[in-house]
Structure 1
Amino acid sequence: MKTCVFHARLAALPLAVAAAFPLTLLVPVSAFSQSSQSGPSAASAQLIAQAGTTPQLKETVVTATRSAQPIGDVIADVTVIDRETLERAGPVGLADVLVRVPGMQMTRNGGIGSTTSVFVRGGESRHTPVFVDGVRVESQTTAGAASWNNIPLSLIDRIEIVRGPSSAVYGSDAVAGVIQIFTKRGQGAFSPSVTVGYGSYNTSRVELAASGSAGAFDYSLGLTQGQSDGFNARTIAAQNPDADGYKSQSANARLGFQINPDHRIEANVLQSHMDAQYDGGLTRDFRRISDLQTLGLQWEAKWSAQYSTKLSITQGTDTGEEGLNGSTPQISYDKSTISTLLFQNEYRIGAHLLSATLESRRDVFRLVGSTAVPAGMSSINRDRSLDGVGLGYGWSGGAHTVQFNARHDRDSEFGGKTTGSAAYAFALTPQWKVSASAGTSFRVPTLYQRFTIYGSPTLKPESGRSVEMALKYRQGTAQYGVTVYRNRLTNLLSFVPGNGPCLNGGPPTVLSNRGCYANTAQAQYTGLTLTAAETLGNVHVHGSLDLQNPKNLVTNRTLQRRSRQYGTLGAEMPLGAWQLATDLVMASHTFDSDTSNVVLPGYSLVNLSATTALSRDWKLVAKLDNVTDKAYQTAATYANGRRALYVGLTWAPL
């Protein structure tokens, strides 16, 4: 019955927006800077600009406001990772690439395929929503973050990262930032490619891809398979000393049809499968088998030189099975599904852009066979809905740029929540720009956190208030910046060991030492980020330094597994027929948990890569990670990879 009601609401949503849209002319909306004529997407505009065929085009980004903007007009703190950078990364996970970005840090319980967390500006991993071609991907289990291991790096064409609260644009979850991932969009003649690679730990990878266009139809297809024997992720005496490897397969398709110059329909699908080992005792070896599926369908329409719309229907599904290695019966099974209908309107009046967005979302969670299911129940089957309306205003003229956003969300469990943001930038000179912004955010607890034996239906949403200021310099190839921020969160949601009884199951004698999720505290994330990039001769140098203090204000302790100092330094240069690159990642010590004094020492990692064109159609990539063979941990008792070499060969006929 709930499903029928939800789909009825989705069907009625466009009509509601059409009726309400005239009211948006009276309210602030998101910034937009784009020609009134149809043009390439943000990703293709970047590729064309890099190729140098149309110098008048500026690189554009869409994540900050959900509208395409030249990156120079964006007030938010944004980083773009291009395809060239991803190709040099080798057989690593998405999180390994993100940690080279200012303001981001990662922890992982072992190698690729194991539990991974990504912290943006010190926030929790769940505080950063992730989208793949516009499809929100998120798990309703445990902490509720995206399944970072199931997003295949090889199929990604471009990544946009926004640091700072964005709930006024994206609703729940966007407390620390937003990450948008884009696969390739087909254009031009048929273009196939094949990549094979091999490296340390018996790691291998095969990738097949093809893209192009025919008339009004364009397509991009990808298929990848990888595996590794891995390494012993837990070297302590009580755990199995075997290597913990993984196998993965992924496929995607992005299809578009340009009905006419003003209307485009696009469909995308991605399917990813990961089978990873982990230790569960001295002789027992467990497996986590996880699958990620994204489905998206959108229609972009330009009704006049001033008015355009986008209607999209998306679904992201994350499933997981836990079991003993080599055994058929599963121990537990979980499935999280997020279905979304988005209707976005944009209206330009001269240099002003007004917009209105209606979004309807439904989350469904199923858990079977887990010890987390309350006594007397065989499974957990829960769902919730969240509907939101977002409004905003953007204007850029002369030395001034302003951005306002407001959004109201209504959750079926928690009721209404209103968030807003305001930002202003002023160009002191053509090279120097100063900006300031403030915003509010929120995140509702996951269905796992509320309805398993570790949770409570009385949990409250986390709520944040943030301010930041930035000073940036840009002249030719030189870019320098400093950003200071403070994000204060109330009702911080944490897992408290030994806290019980929880409200969802059984007598206190059973639950007294189990632990529960609870709104335990206030948190404050403060920090200073320094960035720099410069080209010296034929060497491009870039780096960042984060001085942060993510703190639990009740206990006055630094939040777990987050460094107070974190920095990166990289350089790229040509050498004959080769393109060489190196990067250095440095992190200070962390505490393994909020309640213990177990200290994880700081570390420095050096990585090298080299690429060369063997011929017109063949390219070689070599990658050496952890050059100094550093032994380090980002989670207590879990090892990370040591020195590893990988070599890949790509055939891509021109």
Structure 2
Amino acid sequence: MHSPTLRLRGAAGARATPSLRGAPAALALLAAALLPALAAAQAAPLGETVVTANRTPQPLADLVADVSIVDRETIERSGATGLADVLARVPGVEISRNGGPGTTTSLYLRGAEQRFTAVYIDGVRMDSQTTGGAPWEAIPLGLVDRIEVLRGPAAAVYGSDAVGGVIQIFTRKGEGPAQPYVGIGAGSHGTYKAEAGVAGSAGEGGAVDYALGLEREISDGFNARPVAGQNPDKDGLRRSALNARVGLQIDPRQRIEGTLLGADSNAGYDTTPLGNDDRALHRMHALGLNWRSQWTEHYTTRLSVTDSRDRYETRPSPYVTDTRLRGYLFQNEWRQGGHLVTAALERREDHLSNGEIDGDRSQDALALGYGFTAGPHAVQLNARHDSDSEFGGHNTGSVAYGYAITPQWRATASAGTSFRAPTLYQRFSPYGVASLQPEEGRNVELGLRWTQGASSASVVAYRNRVKNLIVFGAAGPCRDEYGCYANAGRARYEGVTLSAQHTLGAVQLRASVDLQNHHDETTGRQLARRAKRHATLGADTRIAGWTVGSEVQAEGRRFDNAANTTVLGGYTLVNLYASTRVAQDTTLLARVDNLADKTYQTARTYAQAGRTFYVGLKWAPR
């Protein structure tokens, strides 16, 4: 049966098969490349500092968590047209999109449903109280500076929603003398982009830092739904976006910072009778204010107030849904030697306006954490209690341990619990059931990482079981005869992720392979739009002043429906990119995406772009 949430922002809930017949042969080649640890995908250097794992800056080498980092350079050369496309090249991530640019996009982290990934922009929580999950199609890629992807449940740190993991998006932060930039570009399907901004610091010792960015994107698009009865018109996109970030270092121990990311987009899609120009209007913002204080050598606090909005409207079909989230966080950190103790008080307030729904709910939480590193040992313990205004108390916890077997080899193990409270739409819409209970998960994982010089490789095996899974089913206790939401499902997300990186002469290689089995434990069928195998392989080098590279993305066969009868075929995409400095401060970038002009779908009846070209110039004095 077809869920009513498909009308809101796209289908995300069908299931897929365990069979992998028809998967691209490139998958086997990529796996063979990984086994000798000759290449890897987005593996983060151990010297990096990561914020997302425990909500506080920590060296990656001290973490037991499974984390990937995507920096600005990787984003710019990726050839990606949207944020989800960049993330699809990170280990453990798959996406589906209902059509062309700016249309409904779903992301699966370790196979978990879209709503099971907690998403933050500069510490500001983004979510929808209709379908659940972040509005990936609405977040402007051009203003993103860095992305951290935490795989594995993190509800003991973040509370509701972090069942599959956490993705944190960071905008640019100013530092040093003013650094302006201006960029323009043009590509296939009448695509034009323009960007401009400046970042830097001022005052004594750079006490005030600032960053401002503007972006405008226009695309004529293509016929994203080439089926009978749908408009054969092009489904284009118009988007304007901005980000602003200002920080004040009051003294060496006190800092205040404000952040803003906002975007308005207007995208075409096809769903109503022939002749209508269907438009999806999307408005989002993430606004945050932070005060960080280091009271002593060991004790630090952070106070945050955040506000976010996800408003989605369709025309001429009249539909509007508007989610507002307000958050308050008071985090305490005590560091001494190899010990890190954290204690946080947090409040989240959700509001949904959707037709007859105009409702609120809140969650208050206490979260405690303890981390310890000494010699080859690393331990991380977390516990959290959430008190929901609708469901009462909910406890989550996690324990993780890492051991450096040798200077090159490190083993990790972890276990944790998680939950997701049902959305206000799932409870109070015509299809809603007020008695729905939170979805609950239990996860275990084992990891092994090898690092030597510029080369590294890792393997992580995981199993995440979710009960009380909310699904849309037959008519029941709700007001609509079409069908109702119910806690009727159980799902198992399990798999192995292999990744590595290696420099071979002047060539940098990177790749990953995900071998997974995500299925409905009630029916035994594969979960929707998630393949048994997917992989990436990339390489880049310097030739005669040019940086040139290529990337292969391979996705196995999936199913698009709950009965596992509608097949989405496997596919392999090849992307090429090249860049060079044409003047002292000006860089030329050229990309070809889907070089072989592959015809493929990530959602049934919705086309994806064929071969596309893009050329851009960027002026950025250094």
Both proteins in one fold, TM over 0.5: yes
SS of residue matched to 2:269: strand
The match for 1:647 among 609, 615, 622 is 615
Q: Which residue of 1 aligns with 2:437?
A: 460
**Alpha-carbon distance between aligned partners in 2 of 1:448 and 1:644, rounded to the nearest angstrom:** 38
Matches within 5 A, 1:117-196: 117-141=106-130, 143-196=131-184
Deviation at 1:59, TM superposition (A): 1.8
Deviation at 1:349, TM superposition (A): 3.0
The match for 2:486 among 518, 524, 529 is 518
Q: Tell me which amino acid in the other structure corresponds to 2:160.
A: S
Q: Tell me which amino acid in the other structure corresponds to 1:500.
A: A
Q: Which residue of 2 aligns with 1:251?
A: 242
**Alpha-carbon distance between aligned partners in 1 of 2:564 and 2:554, rounded to the nearest angstrom:** 24
The match for 2:265 among 250, 264, 274 is 274
The match for 2:185 among 197, 204, 209 is 197
Q: Tell me which amino acid in the other structure corresponds to 2:468.
A: N
Query: Residues 79 and 593 of structure 2 are in contact (CA less than 8 Å); yes or no, is this contact kept in structure 1?
Result: no
Give the direction of change, closer, same or farther, for the CA distance of 1:135–1:287 in structure 2 (3 Å limit).
same
The match for 1:554 among 522, 538, 549 is 522
Deviation at 1:332, TM superposition (A): 2.0
**CA displacement 1:586-626 (0-9 Å, x = unmatched):** 11111102235101110001111111111111101111100
Q: Which residue of 1 aligns with 2:475?
A: 500
Deviation at 1:287, TM superposition (A): 0.7
Query: Residues 237 and 282 of structure 1 are in contact (CA less than 8 Å); yes or no, is this contact kept in structure 2?
Result: no
Q: Which residue of 1 aligns with 2:101?
A: 112
Query: Residues 526 and 564 of structure 2 are in contact (CA less than 8 Å); yes or no, is this contact kept in structure 1?
Result: no
Query: Residues 338 and 364 of structure 1 are in contact (CA less than 8 Å); yes or no, is this contact kept in structure 2?
Result: yes
Deviation at 1:501, TM superposition (A): 4.0
**Alpha-carbon distance between aligned partners in 1 of 2:99 and 2:425, rounded to the nearest angstrom:** 24
SS of residue matched to 2:61: helix
**Alpha-carbon distance between aligned partners in 2 of 1:288 and 1:487, rounded to the nearest angstrom:** 35
The match for 1:611 among 572, 575, 579 is 579
Query: Residues 607 and 624 of structure 1 are in contact (CA less than 8 Å); yes or no, is this contact kept in structure 2?
Result: yes
For these two proteins, the number of residue pairs brought into alignment is 575
**CA displacement 1:449-478 (0-9 Å, x = unmatched):** 111112111111100000000010000111
Deviation at 1:101, TM superposition (A): 0.5
The answer to whether residue 534 in structure 2 is matched with residue 566 in structure 1 is: yes
The answer to whether residue 463 in structure 2 is matched with residue 472 in structure 1 is: no
Q: Which residue of 1 aligns with 2:284?
A: 292
- State, as a whole percentage, how many aligned pairs show the same letter: 51
Q: Tell me which amino acid in the other structure corresponds to 1:227.
A: I
**Alpha-carbon distance between aligned partners in 2 of 1:599 and 1:520, rounded to the nearest angstrom:** 24
Q: CA RMSD in A?
A: 1.3
The answer to whether residue 328 in structure 2 is matched with residue 341 in structure 1 is: yes
Give the direction of change, closer, same or farther, for the CA distance of 1:302–1:96 in structure 2 (3 Å limit).
same
Range that drifts further, 91-100 or 419-428:
91-100
**Alpha-carbon distance between aligned partners in 1 of 2:140 and 2:151, rounded to the nearest angstrom:** 22
Ranges of 4+ aligned residues in structure 1 off by more than 4 Å: none
Deviation at 1:348, TM superposition (A): 1.9
Q: Which residue of 2 aligns with 1:332?
A: 319
Deviation at 1:176, TM superposition (A): 0.2
**CA displacement 1:314-368 (0-9 Å, x = unmatched):** 01111111112xxxxx712221011000000001233211110110010000013
TM-score, normalising length: structure 1: 0.87
Q: Tell me which amino acid in the other structure corresponds to 2:492.
A: Q
TM-score, normalising length: structure 2: 0.91
Give the direction of change, closer, same or farther, for the CA distance of 1:410–1:441 in structure 2 (3 Å limit).
same
Query: Residues 480 and 531 of structure 1 are in contact (CA less than 8 Å); yes or no, is this contact kept in structure 2?
Result: yes
**Alpha-carbon distance between aligned partners in 2 of 1:452 and 1:91, rounded to the nearest angstrom:** 36
**Alpha-carbon distance between aligned partners in 2 of 1:552 and 1:91, rounded to the nearest angstrom:** 32
Q: Which has the higher contact order (CA 8 A, sep 6+)?
A: 2
The match for 2:502 among 524, 530, 534 is 534
Range that drifts further, 81-90 or 186-195:
81-90
Gap regions ≥5 residues in structure 1: 1-48, 51-56, 325-329, 369-378, 506-510
Query: Residues 79 and 592 of structure 2 are in contact (CA less than 8 Å); yes or no, is this contact kept in structure 1?
Result: no
**Alpha-carbon distance between aligned partners in 2 of 1:349 and 1:183, rounded to the nearest angstrom:** 30
Query: Residues 351 and 397 of structure 1 are in contact (CA less than 8 Å); yes or no, is this contact kept in structure 2?
Result: yes
The match for 2:302 among 269, 293, 310 is 310
**Alpha-carbon distance between aligned partners in 1 of 2:208 and 2:84, rounded to the nearest angstrom:** 33
Deviation at 1:111, TM superposition (A): 1.1
Query: Residues 525 and 564 of structure 2 are in contact (CA less than 8 Å); yes or no, is this contact kept in structure 1?
Result: no
Gap regions ≥5 residues in structure 2: 1-43
Q: Tell me which amino acid in the other structure corresponds to 1:217.
A: V
Q: Which residue of 2 aligns with 1:61?
A: 50
Query: Residues 459 and 498 of structure 2 are in contact (CA less than 8 Å); yes or no, is this contact kept in structure 1?
Result: yes
**Alpha-carbon distance between aligned partners in 2 of 1:401 and 1:201, rounded to the nearest angstrom:** 51
Query: Residues 91 and 205 of structure 1 are in contact (CA less than 8 Å); yes or no, is this contact kept in structure 2?
Result: no
Deviation at 1:290, TM superposition (A): 0.7
SS of residue matched to 1:557: coil
Q: Which residue of 2 aligns with 1:54?
A: none
The answer to whether residue 227 in structure 2 is matched with residue 236 in structure 1 is: yes
